Amino acid sequence: MAISEKMLDEILNKYPAKVKRNRKKHILVKDLGQDQQEIEANTRTIPGVITNRGCAFAGCKGVVLGPLKDMVHIVHGPIGCAYYSWLTRRNKAKTDDPKKNFLAYCVSTDMQESDIVFGGEKKLARMIDEVVEVFKPNAITISATCPVGLIGDDIQGVARAARDKHGLNITAYNCEGYKGVSQSAGHHIANNNLMEHIIGQGDLEEPPGRYTINILGEYNIGGDSWEVERVLSEIGYEIQVVMTGNGSYEKLKNAHVAQLNLVQCHRSINYIADMLETRYGTPWLKVNFIGIRGISESLRNMARYFGDEALIQRTEEVIERELAEIEPQLEPYRKICAGKTAFCFVGGSRGHHYQGLYEELGITTVLAGYEFAHRDDYEGREVLPHVKTDADSKNIPDLHVTPDERRYRLKIPVERMDELKKEIPLSNYNGMIEEMMEGSIVVDDLNHYETEEFIRILKPDIFSSGIKDKYIPQKMGIPTKQLHNYDYSGPYAGFRGAVNFARDVAMGFATPTWNFIEPPWKSKPLLEGTIEPCSTNKCAEEVGA
């Protein structure tokens, strides 16, 4: 069922006037008749509205820094923020030396009232000393939580002093939760610092392989990155570093040697992608490793960028072989999924990426959105010059990088780059809306009330989102699929990942448990009997008439 403007208005009428005005701008119905549909995004959440959004700390430490495995990530603040971002995101990592993998450790300065009153810098310095003594990590990060900025602890100063004292790369991130309007601010803060203090610090000058790439914005949730790397390695790519899933300080500091940067999650890492291009002349390619068409097109685009016939040939061979392996496996799941509809509301890229995979299973996405994306993730980067900056976005400074005099190199000639840009998403992202169907709904920062209303009207067969809203549609009898953490399954990326996803989604539809929701006594009367025919008079006597 399509949603008309009138229906949309009826939904929003429940809101107080100010809320209605605000939310209206965050919702649109895809209309091919319009040239460029504008959506409001990356603006403040309205207090009191049940949002799925988190904070800058979650975006910085939780998303971007957390997966870097050979670093100890110290959280400076009261205990909660470190605790909740401890092992909950499923960014997997493996190291050759088990003593250099710190992901199972949660390190917090556990600030107490006296630290709030008298300052927590000394305690932080002690924690750094203890971490160095106990763990001997390759590097350390320090992430600030809300009170740190408010009481004025100088974490940059503490980090500098500790860097001198221990001769280690120790970086500090002012990602207090109140900054910006969502996790997005934290991504930006992390991007800036990684670029300023880590990337390029290594002394590698030449790429280690013939086709050396970095994968940006891939966090190895459920092992996604490993599945993608398997395919890339078979084609012949050398992966310098993944940012940041299963990533390491040791690899990250030499990220400058890559000849191409792939961008999977545009929202969380586009800043680094841009800065790498400015500083080292390395272009980035927007890829989508989710779904069969997604990964196939991405692989073909990569091969075109390098322009080597053998590589193009090899790419086709691998795609063909992988398809031959997975297509028969997908068939039974497609039978279960065909003709169904989905909501796809995820963070900053999956709301887009999973639509293709759903389609390949025969599932139509009727509503999609992002929790913390910006307008360019919806409308494409061409809107960037027109995006208004507000007080919240201005508080996160842009890092201005300049070409590295020694290392800047054009990876391909300018003319060829211009040609390629017309054909493949090179240093460009066209956003989610472009690929959506006429009449489908796009909602930014979908909140609880709207979730219920859109479910009521559109009756999706599956609802994909995160842990906070998972059990709401499920209570209504609608299968759900967490697309932040994959319901503890995965990998979902790449060819084999598509099969895992298909299996899990089909399982959600097919589980016999749905059949038991209505107890048998609800549809059966308590007393059963038949009405005996009798003469009118006799019946009247019996009832005492």
Partner 1 sequence: MLDCTPKELIERTGGMINPAKTCQPIGAMYAALGIHNCMPHSHGSQGCCAYHRSHLTRHFREPVMATTSSFTEGASVFGGGGNLKTAIKNVFAIYNPDVMAVHTTCLSETIGDDVPTIIKSAEVPEGKLVIHANTPSYQGSHITGFSNMVKGMVTYLARATAEDKKEQVNIIPGFVNPGDMREIKRLADSMGIKFIMFPDTSGVLDSPMTGKFHMFPAGGARVDDIRDAGNSKLTLALGYYASSDAAHLLERNCQVPAVTLKTPIGIKATDELLMLLRGKFVREIPYELEEERGQLVDVMTDCHHHFYGKKVAIFGDPDIIIGLTEFVLSLGMRPVHVLTGTPGATLGGPKGILEKEIKAMLAASGLEGRVKAAGDLFELHQWIKNEPVDLLMGNTYGKYIARAEDIPFVRVGFPVMDRSTHPYMPIVGYRGALRLVEMISSALLDRQDRDAADEDLELVM
**Catalytic residue numbers?**
55, 58, 89, 187
What sections of 13-154 are H helices per DSSP? 17-24, 56-57, 79-84, 113-118, 121-135, 146-151
Nearer to partner 1 by C-beta: 359 or 452?
Answer: 452
Least Å from the CB of residue 271 to partner 1: 19
Span 383-402, contacts to partner 1 by CB under 8 A: 391-392, 395
Span 132-161, contacts to partner 1 by CB under 8 A: 133-135, 145-147, 149-151
Beta carbons within 10 angstroms of residue 534's beta carbon = 10
Does 64 engage in binding with partner 1 (CB under 8 A)? no
Among 44, 94, 210, 386, interactor with partner 1 by CB under 8 A? 44
Does 441 engage in binding with partner 1 (CB under 8 A)? no
Does 246 engage in binding with partner 1 (CB under 8 A)? no
Cα distance between residue 442 and residue 345, in whole Å: 9
Beta carbons within 10 angstroms of residue 192's beta carbon = 20
Does 54 engage in binding with partner 1 (CB under 8 A)? yes
Nearer to partner 1 by C-beta: 21 or 421?
Answer: 21
Least Å from the CB of residue 138 to partner 1: 12
Q: Which residues, 6 or more positions from 477, have their beta carbon under 8 angstroms from its beta carbon?
A: 514, 517
Does 532 engage in binding with partner 1 (CB under 8 A)? no
Among 181, 199, 239, 262, interactor with partner 1 by CB under 8 A? 181
Span 483-522, contacts to partner 1 by CB under 8 A: 517-518
> Number of residues in contact with partner 1, rule: CB under 8 A?
92
What sections of 255-308 are H helices per DSSP? 266-280, 292-306
Does 248 engage in binding with partner 1 (CB under 8 A)? no
Least Å from the CB of residue 497 to partner 1: 23
Does 96 engage in binding with partner 1 (CB under 8 A)? no
Structural contact between residues 344 and 351, judged by C-beta atoms closer than 8 angstroms: yes
Among 68, 127, 170, 215, interactor with partner 1 by CB under 8 A? 127
CA 20 to chain centre: 27
Span 103-122, contacts to partner 1 by CB under 8 A: 104-113, 115-116
CA–CA distances in Å: residue 449 to residues 15, 22, 456: 10, 14, 11
Nearer to partner 1 by C-beta: 104 or 531?
Answer: 104
Span 183-222, contacts to partner 1 by CB under 8 A: 183
Among 4, 25, 36, 83, interactor with partner 1 by CB under 8 A? 83
Helices (H) and strands (E) in the chain, counts: 22, 14
Structural contact between residues 369 and 341, judged by C-beta atoms closer than 8 angstroms: no
Task: Using DSSP bridges, classify how beta strands 480-482 and 139-144 pair: parallel, antiparallel or unpaired.
Answer: unpaired
Cα distance between residue 164 and residue 172, in whole Å: 14
Beta bridge partners of residue 29, listed in sequence order:
441
Among 4, 9, 10, 14, interactor with partner 1 by CB under 8 A? 14
What sections of 5-120 are H helices per DSSP? 5-12, 17-24, 56-57, 79-84, 113-118
Nearer to partner 1 by C-beta: 364 or 485?
Answer: 485
Task: Candidates 100-108, 299-307, 313-321, 496-504: pick the segment binding partner 1 (CB under 8 A).
Answer: 100-108
**Tokens 């599956």 belong to residue:** 462
Does 94 engage in binding with partner 1 (CB under 8 A)? no
Nearer to partner 1 by C-beta: 55 or 252?
Answer: 55
Least Å from the CB of residue 374 to partner 1: 16
**Tokens 């949309």 belong to residue:** 8
Among 3, 27, 55, 272, interactor with partner 1 by CB under 8 A? 55
Structural contact between residues 18 and 25, judged by C-beta atoms closer than 8 angstroms: no
Interface map 349-378 toward partner 1 (x if CB under 8 A) = ------------------------------
Structural contact between residues 485 and 90, judged by C-beta atoms closer than 8 angstroms: yes
Nearer to partner 1 by C-beta: 439 or 466?
Answer: 466
Enclosing H/E stretch for 517: none
Q: Which residues, 6 or more positions from 100, have their beta carbon under 8 angstroms from its beta carbon?
A: 69, 70, 137, 138, 248
